[in-house]
Amino acid sequence: GYEVSAVQNPLSSYEADIETTKRLIDAQSGPTVVVAHSYGGAVITAAAADNPNVKSLVYIAAFANDVGEPLGPLLEKYPSKVGAAFRPDAAGFLTIDRAQFHEIFAQDLPRVQTSVMAATIRATNTGQCRYRRNMDSSFRKWLTTTKAADHGVRRLRSRRN
């Protein structure tokens, strides 16, 4: 037994995703481990800040920015193919180019599976991806990457925030 909860982010803005995730984290009773993949890593960094129940953040092939660190400069510092694969629509929402999805996002999966993923991935309006909040340094960040989603983080590490 572990109690598991999953958040359904609106993807209408970075701030809305943080607030939605924060509401779910705040609703947890007792010690909490928060796990994210890809863009969700940036969201949990901000959403978990100042929550005394959060004991660990786990980033699985995810952005692992510091609180207040925008994603743009992070992508510039650690370039990857994913940035060039984003395609904006007329409203400014981003999605990953379907033709590049398999190679960029999930090359370790069968193409038939990644074609379904590429067709069903929800677009996100990440805006400026900036959020500032102080973070309690009493919990750990755990990072891991996979060949399938290289977002510039290239090694497994654990560190105190």
pLDDT, tens digit (0-9, with 9 covering 90-100), for 117-155: 999 988 887 554 443 333 344 445 555 444 444 433 333
Q: How confident is the model at residue 78 (pLDDT cuts 50, 70, 90)?
A: confident
Phi, psi of 159 (to 5 degrees): -150, 150
CA distance 10 to 119: 18
The larger pLDDT score, comparing residue 19 to residue 151, is at 19
159, 141 Cβ separation under 8 angstroms: yes
CA nearest to 126, candidates 24, 38, 32:
38
CA distance 131 to 71: 10
pLDDT in tens, 39-67: 899 999 999 998 999 999 999 888 888 88
| SS3 call for 119 | helix
pLDDT in tens, 87-121: 888 887 888 899 999 998 888 999 999 999 999 98
pTM over 0.75: no
